[in-house]
Amino acid sequence: MTHMDCAAFGDAATELALGILTGADRSAALEHIDRCPCCQAEAASLAGAADRLLDLIPARSAPAGLESRLAEAFRQTGPGQAARSCRTETAPKKLAVWRWRAGAAAAAVATAGLVCIGLHEIARPPAIAGDRGAAVAILRTPAGAHAGEVVVTWARRPWLLVIVNAGAPTGRYYCYLRVAGGRQEFEGAYRVDPDGSAWLIRLPVTDRHLIGAQLVGPGGTEIASATFS
């Protein structure tokens, strides 16, 4: 793959954000943002603007029954079914287990005033080698106010659940992960509404030491951060 530097990425960034970059250019751009937090933040910012353009698409009332037909289709078709057919027999089961652990962690921290992701463990999953359970850290504003929680579950790959309380400043939040060695990695951009928000992140690296998370507003001001003890 051709490596892309920041200057070349700058030329390709708008097309990436609009979803029209293709082939080797797209691969190179994605590879670049995976290792360059600045360009990743720029890509997220441009993607936010590109996303707003979708408001121009005229909404039309969907045909009656579409929602119920889809609900029935969802009940009959497991998520990831198409992809699973290409995989081994055992992988999907393990995948389901750590998804459920993330859901269980979400349920555990859902208290009054918080938004819960709505997933619940309905059966205790079998133990997974290397499972280190879950850890919770409080999200605090720079002034020390309680703004929410972050929960990490350590399964074969870790999940991170970020919960922002109702009443937090609304708008787009940029989420950064603080990892061992003092590095800070851009994770993604999320919208927070007056009722708060919650999002679940599948952490991209399996065994790194996650120290905490930081939420930053569009102007680069820290909104809240959390540190795992």
Q: Is 179 in the site for another protein (CB under 8 A)?
A: no
In a 10 Å sphere around its CB, with 0-12 CB exposed, 13-18 middle and 19+ buried, how is residue 141 labelled? Answer: middle
Chain residues 63-82 in contact with another protein, contact rule CB under 8 A:
63, 66-67, 69-71, 73-75, 77-82
Q: Is 183 in the site for another protein (CB under 8 A)?
A: no
Q: Which of 4, 9, 28, 40 binds another protein (CB under 8 A)?
A: 40
Chain residues 137-166 in contact with another protein, contact rule CB under 8 A:
166
Minimal distance, residue 144 CB to another protein, in Å? 25
Minimal distance, residue 129 CB to another protein, in Å? 21
Candidate segments 1-9, 33-41, 133-141, 206-214, binder of another protein by CB under 8 A? 33-41
CA-closest candidate to residue 167, choices 115, 218, 214, 217: 115
Minimal distance, residue 183 CB to another protein, in Å? 16
Is 29 in contact with 21 (CB distance < 8 Å)? yes
Minimal distance, residue 181 CB to another protein, in Å? 21
Q: Is 222 in the site for another protein (CB under 8 A)?
A: no
Chain residues 5-24 in contact with another protein, contact rule CB under 8 A:
11, 14-22
Q: Is 35 in the site for another protein (CB under 8 A)?
A: no
Phi, psi (deg, nearest 5) at residue 18: -80, -5
Is 185 in contact with 34 (CB distance < 8 Å)? no
